[in-house]
Structure 1
Amino acid sequence: MTVVYIDSVFALNALADYLLVYSAAQLAGARLRRLRFFLAALLGGAYAAAVFLPGMGWLTVPPVKIAAGVLMALAAYGGEPRFLRLTLLLFLVSCGFAGCVLALGLAAGRGMPMENGIFYTNVDTRVLLISAAAAYLVLAVVFRASARRSGAGGFLVPVTVAFCGTRAALTALCDTGNTLRDPVTGRPVLVASAEKLKSLWPPELGPLLTPHALRAPAQTMERLANAGADIARFRLLPYSAVGVESGLLLAVRLDWASVNGKRQERLLLALSPTSVGDGCDALWGELEGYKPCR
């Protein structure tokens, strides 16, 4: 007869679940909310322990297991704009993790102590960590290769922009598809949604830099000149996008910007009249040397 220690079941599965929700968030470029991931891990550990309690065998039926996974995803990623993608990725990472655990166990000449996908005795912690790392690396290679083919970088970085003594905080997506460059310095141009920059402008400029006004950037440039703005700080940038006709964006020379802690003096900021994407306020066309938000 197999003896099951509930505390070991809870601890092992909570550790595994934390690694899973963390890895899925890393791969998706989502914000790494460690406290929420810890809560999701506790829920996963509690579910695993409950399976072995008398009369709780119904928890192992597939619909209930899926519901438990979705509950974990809600605890970890609830409120994220790409919640469905993160949930599907969590299930994919879980499958990869389980496969790596099984493969390592067979390679070691012994099976893994699992029942209905749940660890129930003392699993070698090294096997657990190596399995999580292997699953993460395999999926990371797949995702990065996909990103190279699609031209998308795929991770988020914190950004602070400063203009005339005022600052605004943004979240930018590192996107190699954004090839917009400053014609003066050759540096990447930060492209941000105008809706997220309302607090950045002085009172006299705010009414002139609304999303509606920026749909006609040439006319907005004219109005800025008529209003006595420092027009030397503004310029019109030509752009083109896949499936979209070419056009112009109004851009402004910032005092400075900090992109994931790297200060950029007098960076050019292009103002988009529309949202630039789900889960981000801006696009940054440089990947090398940057890491995802922590």
Structure 2
Amino acid sequence: MTVVYVDSVFVLNMLADYLLVYAAAQLAGARLRRLRFLLAALVGGAYAVAVFLPGLGWMSAPPVKLAAGVLMALVAFGGETRFLRLTLLLGLVSCGFAGCVLALGLAAGRGVPMQNGVFYTNVDMKVLLISAASAYLVLTVVFRASAHRSGAGGFMIPVTVGFASRSTALTALCDTGNTLRDPVTGRSVLVASAEKLQPLWPPELGSLLTPSALRTPTEVMERLASSSRDVARFRLLPYSAVGVESGLLLAVRADWASVNGKRRERLLLALSPTPVGDGCDALWGELEG
């Protein structure tokens, strides 16, 4: 007879599920909503406990397991534009993690204690943590290596931008073809969709920095000069693109930005009047990570 301690089952599976959701978000370059990830992990831990409760053995059936996984994905990633892709990635990361756990357990000569696909009380915590770290490392290296081989970055990173007392989160594509640079510092310029930056502006700026208005950046600059006390933050940046005539983008200097977890002071943002790409809010001209 197998003795199972539900508190251990809950804690171990909650930790594993948090690592899985966090790893999937990191690999996809999604926003790191840690509170939602924690709630998703709590759902996973509660499901693991329910499987062992009297009369609930039916919850170990494959359709119920699949439904529990989708519920975790909804809690963690609901509202994301790439929800289906994130859900599939979460499944792949889970399979990779399970494979690492099994391989390390067999290598240690003692197997992995599981019942109905759930870790229970005598899981070696060291094996679990090493497995989680190994799975995360291997998957990160594989995804990042394929991105580098694409020749243009090709992977998403989280970006948060701060202006005055406001901030907004973006998803940026690492694109080494973006060679736009800050003429003052020489650093890369973050080219962002003007529509996605709307929550960043106070009312007096929001009415001026609309996507339609930014199609004529020189006119916007004139209006800023006559109506905004923050005009010193703004400048016009010349750009050129393949198959497109050269032009100007209005740029603004943010107070701060966090690019893939690295803080950058007074980063220059170029405001694009049109969307910058499929599934991303901004373009970043440096490879991160």
Asked if 1 retains the 8 angstrom alpha-carbon contact of 2:162 and 2:255, the reply is yes
Which residue is 1:259 aligned to?
A: 257
Task: Check 1:271–1:127 CA distance in 2 against 1; reply closer, same or farther (3 A cut).
Answer: same
Counterparts in 2 of 1:77-88, with a 5 A limit? 77-88=77-88
Asked if 2 retains the 8 angstrom alpha-carbon contact of 1:5 and 1:121, the reply is yes
1:54-113 Cα distance to aligned partner (Å, 9 max, x none): 332322222211110011111222222322222111111110111011101110111111
Structure 1 stretch 4-13 or stretch 38-47: which is displaced more?
4-13
Asked if 2 retains the 8 angstrom alpha-carbon contact of 1:96 and 1:135, the reply is yes
* Counterpart Cα distance in 1 of 2:222 and 2:264: 32
Percent identical across equivalent pairs? 66
Counterparts in 2 of 1:21-60, with a 5 A limit? 21-60=21-60
* Counterpart Cα distance in 1 of 2:270 and 2:192: 6
Which residue is 2:4 aligned to?
A: 4
Q: Look up the SS of the partner of 2:86 in the other structure.
A: helix
Which residue is 1:239 aligned to?
A: 240
* Counterpart Cα distance in 2 of 1:2 and 1:114: 10
Task: Check 1:68–1:171 CA distance in 2 against 1; reply closer, same or farther (3 A cut).
Answer: same
Corresponding residue pairs, total = 276
Which residue is 1:160 aligned to?
A: 162
Letter in 2 for 1:169: S
Q: Look up the SS of the partner of 1:283 in the other structure.
A: strand
Q: What is the Cα deviation at residue 285 of structure 1? A: 2.3
Asked if 1 retains the 8 angstrom alpha-carbon contact of 2:9 and 2:120, the reply is yes
Task: Check 1:223–1:115 CA distance in 2 against 1; reply closer, same or farther (3 A cut).
Answer: closer
Task: Check 1:105–1:209 CA distance in 2 against 1; reply closer, same or farther (3 A cut).
Answer: closer
Task: Check 1:201–1:59 CA distance in 2 against 1; reply closer, same or farther (3 A cut).
Answer: closer
* Counterpart Cα distance in 1 of 2:111 and 2:19: 21
Counterparts in 2 of 1:34-183, with a 5 A limit? 34-150=34-150, 151-161=153-163, 168-172=166-170, 173=172, 175-177=174-176, 178-183=178-183
Whether 2:223 is the aligned partner of 1:221: answer: no
Letter in 2 for 1:157: V
Q: What is the Cα deviation at residue 27 of structure 1? A: 2.0
TM-score of the two chains, using structure 2 as the length reference: 0.81
1:152-175 Cα distance to aligned partner (Å, 9 max, x none): 2421121124xxxx5652334262
Task: Check 1:247–1:76 CA distance in 2 against 1; reply closer, same or farther (3 A cut).
Answer: same
In structure 2, list runs of 5 or more residues that go unmatched: none
Structure 1 stretch 49-58 or stretch 63-72: which is displaced more?
49-58
Letter in 2 for 1:100: C
Task: Check 1:236–1:27 CA distance in 2 against 1; reply closer, same or farther (3 A cut).
Answer: closer
TM-score of the two chains, using structure 1 as the length reference: 0.80
Task: Check 1:154–1:62 CA distance in 2 against 1; reply closer, same or farther (3 A cut).
Answer: same
Q: Look up the SS of the partner of 1:170 in the other structure.
A: strand
Task: Check 1:91–1:210 CA distance in 2 against 1; reply closer, same or farther (3 A cut).
Answer: same
Asked if 2 retains the 8 angstrom alpha-carbon contact of 1:249 and 1:270, the reply is no
* Counterpart Cα distance in 2 of 1:227 and 1:42: 49
Asked if 1 retains the 8 angstrom alpha-carbon contact of 2:13 and 2:48, the reply is yes
Q: What is the Cα deviation at residue 135 of structure 1? A: 0.4
Task: Check 1:232–1:279 CA distance in 2 against 1; reply closer, same or farther (3 A cut).
Answer: closer
* Counterpart Cα distance in 1 of 2:33 and 2:67: 22
* Counterpart Cα distance in 2 of 1:109 and 1:281: 48
Letter in 2 for 1:117: G
Q: Look up the SS of the partner of 2:98 in the other structure.
A: helix
Task: Check 1:13–1:210 CA distance in 2 against 1; reply closer, same or farther (3 A cut).
Answer: closer
Structure with larger Rg: 1
Letter in 2 for 1:193: S
